[in-house]
Amino acid sequence: MTETATMTESQPFTSDLLKGKKGLVLGVANKRSIAWGISQALANHGAQLAFTYQGERLKDSVEQLTATLPHPAPLYACDVTNDEDIQTVFKKLDEDFGSIQFLIHCIAFAKKEELTGRTVDTSRDGFHLAMDVSAYSLLALTKAAEPLLEKEGGSVVALTYLGSEKVIPNYNVMGLAKAGLESGIRYLASDLGKKNIRVNGVSAGPVSTLAARGISGFTTMLESHRGRAALGRNVEIAEVANTALFLASPLSSGITGEILYVDCGYRIMGA
């Protein structure tokens, strides 16, 4: 922490921790997105950010948000199911930034009809789509980012959820995708560790976002989390964001291949 670090109740915690560091954030859709919360935390600590958005539909929203950041932020269109999009993003990022020190992956998708009822009824198409967008994308993006991350060493952070290891009603195929994502985090950490590229996950408790509202019964999920969590409340985006900031920063230099739970102590409870 630097001498300029400040924290008051009304103001966000700011410092120069990430001054001179650059990174790419994927998964901002709107102001409620976890990716946007993380971006604000990273920017509050001096980082310079670039962003992707999923198609023209979201461009305006992402443009308006990123215009509020202290540094100009390049924006690139990217549908992660499209290899050409991924190649183009990293070509432009190389031109704009030259190197990056972190990559933040906040992307997941499953068809609405797969997020209700029985997991046994998951369609082959629905399975492929959820896995492609939510798990394979981390491999494809990390591979494309490797030349930029290895220049100074770097950190990849992906967002995940407890539905990877426990049965959460209606999370269904997304639980399988998150299990794949978390396994991918460990294999990528092993592949890239010698290049000083770390790969970790943040497992967040439920937060009301666009993606979360696609899960049938999400409000009940929020209530049951609040009732059971050791802290007796649900997590705030800023708390998830600060953990991602820690993992993206040199403060976590000895941590790789791990999942950190930011769930107000829900996972530790037996009942």
Ligand X SMILES: NC(=O)c1ccc[n+]([C@@H]2O[C@H](COP(=O)([O-])OP(=O)(O)OC[C@H]3O[C@@H](n4cnc5c(N)ncnc54)[C@H](O)[C@@H]3O)[C@@H](O)[C@H]2O)c1
Comparing CB distances to ligand X, the nearer of 58 and 179 is: 58
Task: Considering only the stretches 13-21, 165-173, 208-216, 225-233, report the one whose residues sit in contact with ligand X under the rule CB under 6 A.
Answer: 208-216
**What character string, x for contact with ligand X (CB under 6 A) and - otherwise, covers 135-154?**
--------------------
Comparing CB distances to ligand X, the nearer of 34 and 46 is: 34
Is 48 a binder of ligand X (CB under 6 A)?
no
Question: With contact defined as beta carbons under 8 Å apart, do 49 and 71 qualify?
Answer: yes
Is 206 a binder of ligand X (CB under 6 A)?
yes
For residue 23, report the phi and psi dihedrals to the nearest 5 degrees: -160, 170
Is 33 a binder of ligand X (CB under 6 A)?
yes
Is 25 a binder of ligand X (CB under 6 A)?
no
Q: Which amino acid is at 216?
A: S
Mark whether 171 is an active-site residue: yes
Task: Considering only the stretches 21-29, 119-127, 140-148, 188-196, report the one whose residues sit in contact with ligand X under the rule CB under 6 A.
Answer: 21-29
Comparing CB distances to ligand X, the nearer of 18 and 261 is: 261
Task: Considering only the stretches 155-163, 193-201, 223-231, 241-249, report the one whose residues sit in contact with ligand X under the rule CB under 6 A.
Answer: 155-163
3-state secondary structure 3-58: CCCECCCCCCCECCCCCCCEEEEECCCCCCCHHHHHHHHHHHCCCEEEEEECCHHH
CA angle 178-194-142, nearest 5°? 40
Considering the candidates 53, 76, 136, 171, report the single residue annotated as catalytic: 171
CA angle 88-93-98, nearest 5°? 135
Token pair 């092993």: residue: 190
Q: Which amino acid is at 120?
A: V
Burial class (CB in 10 A: 0-12, 13-18, 19+), 75: middle
How many residues touch ligand X (CB under 6 A)? Answer: 27
Q: What does the DSSP assignment read for 180-224?
A: HHHHHHHHHHHHHGGGTEEEEEEEEPP---TTGGGSTTHHHHHHH
Mark whether 161 is an active-site residue: yes
Considering the candidates 53, 76, 161, 261, report the single residue annotated as catalytic: 161
Q: What is the DSSP letter of 250?
A: G
**What character string, x for contact with ligand X (CB under 6 A) and - otherwise, covers 72-101?**
------xxxx--------------------
Is 39 a binder of ligand X (CB under 6 A)?
no
CA distance 190 to 178: 19
Three-state DSSP state, 133 = helix
Is 133 a binder of ligand X (CB under 6 A)?
yes
Please select the residue that binds ligand X; options are 23, 27, 126, 180, rule is CB under 6 A.
27
Catalytic center residues? 161, 171
Binding region for ligand X (CB under 6 A)? 27-29, 33-35, 54, 58, 78-81, 106-109, 133, 159-161, 204, 206-207, 209-212
